[in-house]
Amino acid sequence: MNSKTRQHNEPILSARNIVNRFGKQEVHDRISLEVMPGEIMGIVGGSGSGKTVLLRTLTGLHRPNDGEVLLNGKPVGSIGQAERASLIGVLFQQGALFSSLSVAQNIMLPMREYTDLPVEEQERIAAMKLELAGLSPDSGVKFPSELSGGMVKRAALARALALDPRVLFLDEPTSDLDPVTASGIDALIAQLNRDLGITVIIVTHDLTTLFSVCHRLAVLIDRKITVATLDKLMRSGHPWIHEFLHGPRAHGAMSARRQSHGNG
């Protein structure tokens, strides 16, 4: 096996025996997760299951009480900020754009902080990322308050892509969006994964996203984790998984999945 094949067969991200607790409340009880290069992994669970806590743990923003996270083979806590910024991009739930900066300035922020690129080069890259995220060049001079909800998500995604990360973390990327706009975000995620080979980890409760975009799902239940393909989870006898994937809201999402696969 050559080194390239071996690298591709090794997880780009590993969480091993993660324990997260807050006071006396234990949220995660020795959960483990492996994400392969080029995979789109969805993270789901009920309220209080710790989806966002897990996302913050995987990105190194939260240190677990026990266990470790390996990113590209290294403990995430040992990776310097600049290297970590080049490996991972994060889209926070509300976009988290700085209101006092233009869209282009928001996208350039990671470049200003972690590179020595000239301003002209930063501006050129910001324009490329805008286009990649499906926004017009003139969007760069606008401020976040001038954007629609869908445009804010795309602008935040462009910023997350600024340093060409290998892993993209998305926290509720379609929340508060109308179905048409949300579908556009789903299509963009799939396109970035397909065209750039970027690994994507999505925390979401949006069934359409899960059914149409994700390769595997990680389900957080009762402080544990179950990781499998959607088809396998559809056959699960666990009450929460069954209700989540077979309830009334799931039928429309499954129809959308069949339609997207039919158009593919």
Please write the tens of the pLDDT for every residue from 34-51. Answer: 999 999 999 999 888 889
**Interior angle at CA 206, CA 160 and CA 85, nearest 5:** 15
Q: How far is CA 172 from CA 46, 104, 237, in A?
A: 14, 23, 26
Does the predicted TM-score (pTM) go above 0.75?
Answer: yes
Q: Give dist(CA 179, CA 201) in Å, integer.
A: 21
- Closest by Cα among 89, 100, 99 to 158: 89
Residue 33 burial by CB count (10 A; 0-12/13-18/19+): exposed, middle or buried?
buried
Q: Which amino acid is at 65?
A: N
Q: Give dist(CA 43, CA 216) in Å, integer.
A: 9
Q: What is the pLDDT of residue 68?
A: 95
* Radius of gyration of the CA atoms of the chain, in A: 19
Question: Does the pLDDT value for residue 4 go beyond 60?
Answer: no
DSSP state, residue 234: H
Question: Does the pLDDT value for residue 255 go beyond 80?
Answer: no
Question: Does the pLDDT value for residue 5 go beyond 60?
Answer: no
- Closest by Cα among 163, 170, 192 to 84: 163
Highest mean pLDDT out of 30-44, 146-160, 169-183: 30-44
**Interior angle at CA 35, CA 30 and CA 38, nearest 5:** 170
The DSSP bridge partners found for residue 223 are none
Mean pLDDT for the chain overall: 88
Our measurement of the distance from residue 56's CA atom to the centroid of its chain's CA atoms, rounded to an integer in Å, reads: 11
Q: What is the pLDDT of residue 81?
A: 87
Q: Give dist(CA 215, CA 178) in Å, integer.
A: 24
Write out the two tokens for 151.
Answer: 């445009």
Q: What is the pLDDT of residue 92?
A: 82
